[in-house]
Amino acid sequence: MKQILLFGAGKSATILIDYLLQHAPGENWRLIVADANLQLAREKVNHSPSGEAVSFDIRDENLRQQYIATADLVISMLPPVLHTTVAKDCLHLGKSLLTASYVDDQMRDMAEEIKSKGLIFLCEMGLDPGIDHMSAMKIIDSIRSKGGKITSFRSHCGGLVAPESDDNPWHYKISWNPRNIILAGKAGAHYRENGQDVQLAYEELFNADRLVHVPLHGAFSWYPNRDSLSYAPLYGLEETLTFVRTTLRHPDFMHGWKNVIDLKLTDETPAYESDGKTLQEVFKEHLNAHGFDQWLEEKLTTSFSQTKNVLENLLRLV
């Protein structure tokens, strides 16, 4: 029996755990789910005879290595900052590793030793990055096999709400680490458009006017990912005039999130003493400090102006 050790039982791991447990009996697998929250790990294993929930401090080197040593395969769904800790143990103990996170410099530094030991460290195995890479390469290889040349590459990917569950004004639901939603885009973006390098600041990313039409589902907005161009050599598209990887969101989400950013609500700089204050009081202090009244007046003026233009156009038609 092959033993799979999965670190992390958070939101992003739910479907993976279900999949592994579903296929475990037929594939002769046993799944160990390790998480700091034992109750959470137990809920995800859900009494399956093919799984076991365990809990320990990931910083406990002895326990961590003890579990890794008995595994045939290790999967890390931990926060990216902890992948290196697990990866070093896997390298030391001769275990292959899968993660859903981006390859960072620390992981790249291990590449030669990973190869020399005949191990597989497969990163970027999620939705984005992951499925987008695979679908892109399938299309790229198909074009090249027919003698075609790629002059423009646009990859749009995003975890969108299923239509039957789309029941809130944001048209969005949190299916991954909520903190990562706040952090998304803070580093800005770098991509190539019509032969020109484009760099955008965080405040410029969430523009609802950038649209892509999805068959049967209508128009979605997109914002460019942090560093599209680092993937151009991997795809063999260094000479492509346009190269951009993006994240899809509903236009209403983009409008709303742009307002959240404009009001500095994603700013992580410590600025207030919150002891003894209600959440309402803290918000009021923050909004007053960042000119909420002026911001609201500008938004309402713009909105009324747009409405007025629409009404005037309708009157002309009548």
- Kindly tell me if the per-residue pLDDT of 201 is higher than 60: yes
Phi first, then psi: what are they for 50, rounded to 5°?
Answer: -95, 0
- Can you name the residues that pair with 189 across neighbouring β-strands? 200
Structure confidence by residue, pLDDT tens digits, 158-192 = 888 888 999 999 999 987 778 888 888 899 999 99
Q: Which of 84-93, 206-215, 249-258, 262-271 has the lowest mean pLDDT?
A: 262-271
Residue that has been written with the tokens 């609500």 in this structure:
265
User: How high is the pLDDT of residue 318?
Assistant: 43
Per-residue confidence at 315, pLDDT binned at 50, 70, 90? low
Q: Do residues 98 and 74 touch, judged by C-beta distance below 8 A?
A: yes
Q: Average of pLDDT values for 252-262?
A: 91
* Confidence at residue 66, expressed as pLDDT on a 0 to 100 scale: 96
- Say if residue 104's pLDDT is above 90: no
| pLDDT at position 317 | 54
Tell me, what's the pLDDT at 300?
64
Q: In the prediction, which pLDDT does 309 show?
A: 66
pLDDT over threshold 60, residue 125: yes
Strand-strand pairing, 218-224 and 211-214: antiparallel
Please tell me the predicted confidence (pLDDT) of residue 294: 79
For residue 245, what pLDDT band results from cuts at 50, 70 and 90? very high
H/E run at residue 255: helix 251-262
Residue with the bigger pLDDT between 195 and 299: it is 195
Task: Find all residues with CB under 8 Å of 128, minimum gap 6, and list them.
Answer: 157, 158, 159, 247
* Residue showing tokens 């809130």: 168
pLDDT digits (tens, 9 = 90+) for 1-17: 899 999 999 888 999 99
Query: Among 114-128, 216-230, 284-298, whose mean pLDDT is lowest?
Result: 284-298
The residue extents of the domains of the chain are 2-122, 147-262, 279-317
Provide the percentage of residues in the chain whose pLDDT is more than 90.
Answer: 62
Confidence of residue 126 (pLDDT cuts 50, 70, 90): confident
Confidence band for 310, pLDDT divided at 50, 70 and 90: low
For residues 68 and 284, the model is more confident at: 68
Half-sphere exposure of 77 (CA within 13 A, CB side): 23
Q: What is the mean pLDDT of residues 305-317?
A: 59
Fold annotation for 2-122: Rossmann fold (3.40.50)
Check pLDDT > 70 for residue 75: yes
Mean pLDDT of the chain: 90
Given this model, what pLDDT does residue 154 score? Answer: 96
Q: Is the peptide bond before 129 cis (omega within 30 degrees of 0)?
A: yes
Q: Is the predicted pLDDT of residue 295 greater than 80, yes or no?
A: no
Give the mean model confidence (pLDDT) for residues 60-69: 95
Fold of 147-262: Dihydrodipicolinate Reductase; domain 2 (3.30.360)
Span 86-108, average pLDDT: 91
Element (H, E) at 156: strand 152-157
Residue 247 buriedness (CB in 10 A; 0-12 / 13-18 / 19+): buried
pLDDT of res. 308: 57
268 pLDDT exceeds 60? yes
Q: What is the pLDDT of residues 20-50, one digit of tens each?
A: 999 999 999 999 999 999 999 999 999 999 9
